[in-house]
Amino acid sequence: MSDTTDSNGTSGSNGAGDTDGTAGTDGTSGTGSADVTARTGSSAATDSGSAEEATEAAAQSQLSTAPVEEAPSGPKLSLFGWLRWFWRQLTSMRVALLLLLLLSLASVPGSLIPQRNASPFRVAEFLQNNPKLGPVYDRLQLFDVYSSVWFSAIYLLLFVSLIGCIVPRTWQFVGQLRAKPPKAPSRLKRMPAYTTWRTEAEPAEVLGGARKLLRGSRFRVADGEGSVSAEKGYLRELGNLCFHLALIVMLVAFAVGQLWSVEGGKLVVKGGGFANTLTQYDDIKSGALYDYDDLDGFGFTLEEFHSSFEESGPERGTPRDFRADISYWEGADGPEKKASIEVNEPLTVGSSKVYLLGHGYAPVVTVKDGKGDVAFRGPVPFLPQDGDPNLTSQGVVKVTDYQDAKGKKEQLGFVGIFTPTYGIDEVRGPHSTFPGMKYPAIFLSAYRGNLGIDTGLPQSVYQLNQRGMEPFETEDGDILRQSLRPGETMDLPDGAGSLTFERVERWATFQISQKPASGWALGGALVAIGGLAASLFLQRRRVWVRAYAGGDGRTVVEMASLGRSESAKVPEELGTLAERLRAGAAPLPSAPERDADDGPDDTSDHDDSVGPSADDDGPRRS
């Protein structure tokens, strides 16, 4: 009794290499083929025990294509030996796991430190506020985590590991598809699920019935001596392989999408237009391999912009709806088509997508010079201040072509804010109290001098470079400031001219992007999910049926099954199969236990005489 139990115990922990002694609910998984090698070397088992265990190990082998685990011992010192060792390590489950953990760890800093890609301003701010730490971070590429050398290194290694793992597994799987289910282990009773009964039917008859039953249940069936082996659930393995292959496809698609992508932004005032060429963009960035000649040829005009906001309640002012109505054309001058773009509904033209990103107000002003001639007329987009839901906006009216009353050439700048719904208080000064246009006003101060546009330095259209400018002053010596309602005019002192606030126009910002291989990424993702579902929900399992003449001349039928990982479904299925098999091999009432348990080649195994449960590791009924 004790020798089988002991050998069972030792070989169990041997085979699984399970030194931490935890309950290996997944005990058979991933180590099937390792078991064989580990066991043959096991000297703990008695001779008869090891033979039996070999069949048991064989019964479990090749139930998955997981790579054989090797101890992380050093290689022999040849170059080839090193390479081989390195490759083995790289493609092992352990290293894949470590790489996965590293990858998640490496993603963390990018979520906590501002990223150049997403918020360049916050990066600049960070650098300014942390003069010591900032440059260190910068050197460590912590502002560009997801394109950093170290992040790329991890995922490239994972990628190589993935390929190195998946290719051999695929071959192995093809081999398994051709092979027959392994023959029945000598002691079926030791399989994870087991059932037995005695019947009047002849063994051959029972086995024939079993074969038919299992084939009918879409098992792959092979005949053994006095037994039938069957296997099912290859789809699980296939699913797992597809999942990992799909990961590769997705990774490649991401890379392609990055390298050949282009993304630009454009602010368009209502009535204004845009043509998709490099020079028209306000800002544009592209992947390393993108060629700007490949921009899709199209253009559009912003015909109308609608917005609505919550009018009342605690979330008064929360945006409800934005819509840009445009007309667009493809090619140089294709036919005009109408379309609307909403926040979640981009327009697709060719391989480009046009998104509605933001919106705001552009006061339309007329500036007259000292001679009374119009020096400037048009809408000037004002930009909403960061984080103000009520769209208090800042902007500058720049007048480059101006002469004062005496005919002296100069430039004018009007700086200030626009409020769609004007309000003022002590703390904030003039500000907007609602994002919709209920009471629009602008609040401007006027400057004269040199705008500095010709210096060649890049300059924001939304900011005034005050270096070459001096403010107009009122009679009391204050800086000239004035708030205007539509239709009102601000006169500059000494007949220097005037600015009239005519009305307000809307503007919208659009993002135009081209990202190739998105379809591949999506396809890969869907296959990955399918594969994953098959891999996690299906069971690969084996069923054996043995029938032989027992001591009293009656036939003993034994059935056992084994799943790749433990699942309640496997014993359940065995029960159902047994029930159906019993239809043609009706069970007899209970008989002395030993008949039911001693198999024909089990004669050396006397310990069973105590009872069926005596040497079991605590069997349960399910």
Partner 1 sequence: MNLAAADNQSLADLSRVLILSAMAVYTCAFVAHIAEWVFGSRSRVARTAAALAPKKKSPYTRPTEKETEAAAGAGTTVLEKPEVVTRSALGGRPDLPDGTGGGAGGDEQGDVYGRVAIALTVLAFALHAAGVLTRAFSVTRAPWANMYEFSITFSMVIVGAYLVLLAAKKNVRWLGLVLVTTVLLDLGLANTVLYTESDQLPPALDSVWLWIHVSLAILCGGLFYLGAVGTMLYLFRDSYENKLEQGGKPGGFATSVLERLPSAASLDKFAYRINAAVFPFWTFTIIAGAIWAEDAWGRYWGWDAKEVWSFITWVAYAGYLHARATVGWKGRKAAMLAIVAFLCFLFNYYGVNLFVNSLHSYSGV
Could you say whether residue 329 binds partner 1 (CB under 8 A)?
Answer: no
CA distance 280 to 512: 12
Contact 332, 277 (CB under 8 A): no
343 binds partner 1 (CB under 8 A): yes
474 binds, among ligand HEM, partner 1, none (CB under 5 to 8 A by kind): none
Backbone dihedral angles phi then psi of residue 515, each to the nearest 5 degrees:
-135, 100
Q: DSSP letter at 181?
A: P
x/- binding map, residues 128-147, to partner 1, per CB under 8 A? -----------------xx-
621: contact with partner 1 by CB under 8 A: yes
Q: Of partner 1, ligand HEM, none, which one does residue 269 interact with (CB within 5 to 8 Å by kind)?
A: none
User: Which two tokens mark 321?
Assistant: 């709806």
**Residue 94 or 606 with smaller CB distance to ligand HEM:** 94
Whether residue 237 contacts residue 540, with contact meaning beta carbons closer than 8 Å, is answered with yes
Q: How many CB atoms lie within 10 A of CB 611?
A: 11
592 sits near partner 1 (criterion: CB under 8 A): no
Pick from partner 1, ligand HEM, none: which does 612 bind, CB < 5 to 8 A by kind? partner 1
Contact call for residue 18 and partner 1 (CB under 8 A): yes
Residues 6+ apart with CB under 8 A from 352: 276, 295, 296, 298, 512, 513, 514
Written as six digits, the tokens of 299 are 């253009």
Q: Does 479 bind partner 1 (CB under 8 A)?
A: no
Q: Write down the least CB distance from residue 18 to ligand HEM, Å.
A: 15
Least Cβ distance, residue 247 to ligand HEM (angstroms): 5
The number of beta carbons lying within 10 Å of the beta carbon of residue 477 is 6
Four-CA torsion 94, 100, 106, 108, nearest 10 degrees: -130
Looking at residues 199 to 238 of the shown chain, list those that interact with partner 1 (rule: CB under 8 A): none
Tell which one of 138, 296, 502, 593 touches partner 1 (CB under 8 A): 593
For residue 187, the minimal CB distance to partner 1 (Å) is 12
CB of 522 to ligand HEM, least distance (A): 17
What does 456 bind: ligand HEM, partner 1, none (CB cut-off 5 to 8 Å by kind)? none
Examine residue 362 and tell whether it contacts partner 1 (CB under 8 A).
Answer: no
From residue 52 to residue 71, what is the string marking binding to partner 1 with x (rule CB under 8 A)? ----x---------x--x--
Minimal distance in Å, beta carbon 195 to partner 1? 5
**What's the angle, vertex CA 104, arms to CA 99 and CA 107, rounded to 5?**
120
Among 357, 364, 405, 453, binds partner 1 (CB under 8 A): 357
Q: Which whole-number Å values give the CA distances from 484 to 289, 490, 609, in the listed order?
A: 50, 7, 105
User: Which of ligand HEM, partner 1, none does 240 bind, CB closer than 5 to 8 A by kind?
Assistant: ligand HEM
Is 23 near partner 1 (CB under 8 A)?
A: yes
30 vs 420, beta carbon nearer partner 1: 30
- Phi and psi based region of residue 304 (left: phi greater than 0; alpha: psi -120 to 50; beta: remaining): beta
> At its nearest, how many Å lie between partner 1 and the CB of residue 322?
6
- DSSP string covering 458-510, please? ---TTS--GGGEEE-B-TTSPBPEEEE-TT-EEEEGGGTEEEEEEEEEEEEEE
Task: Tell me the DSSP string of 398-423.
Answer: EEEEEE-TT--EEEEEEEEEEESBEE
Residues contacting partner 1: total by CB under 8 A: 120
Q: Which range, of 93-101, 288-296, 457-465, 475-483, touches partner 1 by CB under 8 A?
A: 93-101
Task: Report the residue number whose CB is nearest to ligand HEM.
Answer: 165
Q: What is the DSSP string of 27-96?
A: TTTT-HHHHHHHHHT--SS-HHHHHHHHHHHHHHTTSS-PPPP---PPPPSSHHHHHHHHHHHHTSHHHH
Residues that bind ligand HEM (CB under 6 A): 29-30, 64, 66, 91, 93, 96, 100, 158, 161-162, 165, 240, 244, 247, 535-536
Inter-residue contact 215 to 199 (CB < 8 Å) = no
Measuring CA to CA, which residue among 59, 61, 41 is closest to residue 50? 41
Tell me whether residue 114 or residue 395 sits nearer to partner 1 (CB atom).
Answer: 114
Q: Which of 58, 124, 437, 525 binds partner 1 (CB under 8 A)?
A: 525
Residue 603 tokens read as 């004669």
Look at residue 380 and give the partner it binds from partner 1, ligand HEM, none, a contact being a CB closer than 5 to 8 Å depending on partner kind: none
- Sequence-distant (6+) residues with CB within 8 A of 214 are 221, 228, 230, 543, 545, 577
Contact (CB, 8 A) for 229 and 182: yes
Encode burial over 283-316: b for 16+ CB neighbours within 10 A, e otherwise.
ebebbeebeeeebebbbbbbeebebebeeeeeee
* CB of residue 97 to partner 1, shortest distance in Å: 5
| Minimum separation from the CB atom of position 12 to ligand HEM (A) | 18
The residues, ordered by sequence, that sit 6+ positions from 257 with a Cβ below 8 Å of its Cβ are: 287, 515, 516, 517, 518, 521
In angstroms, give the least distance from the CB of 49 to partner 1: 12
Contact string 300-319 vs partner 1 (x = CB under 8 A) = ----------x-xxxx--xx
Query: Do the Cβ atoms of 395 and 385 come closer than 8 Å?
Result: no
Residue 276 is a binding residue for partner 1 (CB under 8 A): no
Torsion of CA 562, 565, 568, 574, to 10 degrees: -20
Which 557-586 positions form the footprint of partner 1 (CB under 8 A)? 566, 571-572, 574-575, 578-579, 582, 586
Residue 223 site contact among partner 1, ligand HEM, none (CB < 5 to 8 Å, cut-off depends on kind): none
Nearer to partner 1, 199 or 500 (CB): 199
Among ligand HEM, partner 1, none, the one that 230 touches (CB under a kind-dependent 5 to 8 A) is: none
Our finding on whether 282 is near partner 1 (CB under 8 A) is no
Nearest to 577 by CA among 197, 62, 235, 64: 197
Binding partner 1 (rule: CB under 8 A), the pick from 126, 143, 194, 305 is 194
Minimum gap (Å) between residue 596 Cβ and partner 1? 7
Which one of the spans 170-178, 219-227, 419-427, 525-533 is the region binding partner 1 (CB under 8 A)?
525-533
Q: Identify what 165 binds: partner 1, ligand HEM, none; CB under 5 to 8 Å per kind.
A: ligand HEM
